[in-house]
Amino acid sequence: MRLPSAFLTKREQQLGEDFPLFLQSYEQPRASGLRANRLKITPEALHTLVPFLREPVPWCKDGFYFNEGDTRPAKHPYYYAGLYYIQEPSAMLPADLLQAERRQHVLDLCAAPGGKSVQLAAQLGREGLLVVNDPHPQRAKVLLKNMERYGVVNAVVLNETPERLLQAFSGYFDKILVDAPCSGEGMFRKEPEMAKEWSEESVAKYASWQAEILSTVPKLLRADGEVVYSTCTFSEEENERQVEGFLSANPDFELLDMRRLWPHEVRGEGHFAAKMKRISGTHSFASEKRRRQPARHSLSLSNSAHEAIAQFSEQVWQDAKRWQEWLPSGGYIVERAGHILWEWEDLPVLRGLKVLRSGWLLGMVEKGRFRPSPAFALGLPLEAVQAAKQRFELSTKTEEERYLAIRYLRGETIQQEGKVWPKGWHLVSLEGYPLGWAKGAGHWLKNEFPPGWRWEDRDER
């Protein structure tokens, strides 16, 4: 691979006698990894279920290596059920360093496509609020899709600049991840095109953007809150210098931890992460920004919406009220223009912000009928799958079964000899994990797996 000479000179100055080892790392195959999605499955259970996992990633308890040559993990029905996220191993470091805790307010400021957001969501569990943001409109859409695919129910997805978040979230967050846009020097082995675009000017340009993004953090973070700043680049200007600049501009913060992963020292492409904590000050969320909320667990639904969901719940679970059991605690149901959502109770007023999603989209009420969203299925806990009476269970145990699962994921209508499906909604699951919806129509099962989410390789069997 041809690397820019100014880039090599900089690394030589930075690494000294380790520089030849660094250079040699470009001749090694790159490391590939995936991470168990704890919202669905433990790493131990995933390891038993999936044959292609290799050793654990040392700095991430949910991560594993896999060999690119053996398999394509993105072409497995388990991937569609959100059981794992394919992630470059060193990219697993920053969220593990931040460690979100139950009931916290967490912000992923530069979040798309959402690898670290899913990781933070799993740490948070179904309690607390995860705000994920990306200012790039198309990337924010991918971020939303990933939140839904991975069963994250307590995320707010925004498409904003950091500065504009202040109007709603000043002093609101316990933890913030700033996985900043960077010159991507750690991506050259994976995407050699990036090496061609690299220049000293681009490093300087990113460094100035990073400082600007970081400058909003103190205003968004509460007293004694923590921030992790990370990049997938090597330059000191984008890493240590940013941390130094941040700490000198904000003397109420201290450095808790700072780590670098180098590709010649670990199996990974390289990453930088620094954790800082606010040690003094009284910065706090202005309570007047809280919304006037209905009581906890309350259902502020119109009668017609209530009836429509009850009818749907009776079809799937044979009980009109059963659907409410699957909602996390600490939130409430809202209805907006026919959209039914579960939202976290502590959400501030979002007026004026570009909101792609403000919680768990359960579905829509159209002409008096409830249409469940794909996100509703994928966010359901496993008990909800077990309890479903109208359920279409798929498997990957035999070739035939695996092929049927792929046919569902491709969006095909399902017909099976001698099989009759009662009318109404059926929850589709894969070995007990929720996957989507289908509609019974006698000898047919109409596929409701959404077009943008489908298995695309037509030749795959």
Ligand X SMILES: C[S@@+](CC[C@H](N)C(=O)[O-])C[C@H]1O[C@@H](n2cnc3c(N)ncnc32)[C@H](O)[C@@H]1O
Is 459 within any annotated ligand binding site? no
Tokens at residue 205, please?
């340009």
Q: Give the closest residue to 266 by CA, choosing from 119, 58, 88, 96.
A: 58
135 binding ligand X? (CB under 6 A): yes
Q: At its nearest, how many Å lie between ligand X and the CB of residue 118?
A: 8
Is 111 within any annotated ligand binding site? yes
Q: CB nearer to ligand X: give 206 or 392.
A: 206
**Residue given tokens 């904590």 in the structure block:** 277
**β pairing state of 63-66 and 32-36:** antiparallel
Task: Give the Cα separation of 275 and 255 in Å (integer).
Answer: 6
Quick count: other Cβ atoms within 10 Å of Cβ 194? Answer: 16
Tokens at residue 430, please?
């894969």
The stretch near ligand X (CB under 6 A) out of 103-111, 275-283, 289-297, 359-367 is 103-111
Q: Which of 4, 113, 245, 281 binds ligand X (CB under 6 A)?
A: 113
Contact 405, 398 (CB under 8 A): no
232 is catalytic: yes
Q: DSSP of 45-110, one letter per residue?
A: HHHHH-TT--SBPTT-TTEEEE-TTT--GGGSHHHHTTSEEE--GGGGHHHHHH---TT-EEEESS
Q: What are the beta bridge partners of residue 436? A: 428
Tell me the per-residue interface mask from 283 to 322 with ligand X, x by CB under 6 A, - otherwise.
Answer: ----------------------------------------
Residue 360 C-alpha from the chain's centroid: 14
Q: What are the beta bridge partners of residue 364? A: 339, 371
Q: CB nearer to ligand X: give 113 or 330.
A: 113
121 binding ligand X? (CB under 6 A): no
139 binding ligand X? (CB under 6 A): yes
Q: Which of 43, 82, 89, 115 binds ligand X (CB under 6 A)?
A: 115
Catalytic residue among 107, 232, 353, 394: 232
Q: DSSP of 101-154, one letter per residue?
A: -TT-EEEESS-TT-HHHHHHHHHHTTSSEEEEE-SSHHHHHHHHHHHHHTT--S
Strand (E) or helix (H) holding 5: helix 5-15
268 binding ligand X? (CB under 6 A): no
448 binding ligand X? (CB under 6 A): no
Is 274 within any annotated ligand binding site? no
Q: Which of 56, 125, 181, 281 binds ligand X (CB under 6 A)?
A: 181
Q: CB nearer to ligand X: give 120 or 385.
A: 120
The stretch near ligand X (CB under 6 A) out of 130-138, 185-193, 260-268, 383-391 is 130-138
387 binding ligand X? (CB under 6 A): no
109 binding ligand X? (CB under 6 A): yes
380 binding ligand X? (CB under 6 A): no
Q: CB nearer to ligand X: give 120 or 430.
A: 120
Task: Give the Cα separation of 133 and 48 in Å (integer).
Answer: 34
Task: Give the Cα separation of 309 and 329 in Å (integer).
Answer: 19
Contact 223, 284 (CB under 8 A): yes
111 binding ligand X? (CB under 6 A): yes
34 binding ligand X? (CB under 6 A): no
Is 110 within any annotated ligand binding site? yes
Q: Which of 63, 162, 374, 434 binds ligand X (CB under 6 A)?
A: 162
155 binding ligand X? (CB under 6 A): no
Query: Considering only residues 182-211, where is the footprint of ligand X by CB under 6 A?
Result: 209
Bind-site residues for S-adenosyl-L-methionine: 110-116, 134, 179
Q: Can you give the binding site for ligand X, defined by CB under 6 A?
A: 91, 109-116, 134-136, 139, 161-162, 179, 181, 209, 213
**So which residues are the catalytic ones?**
232
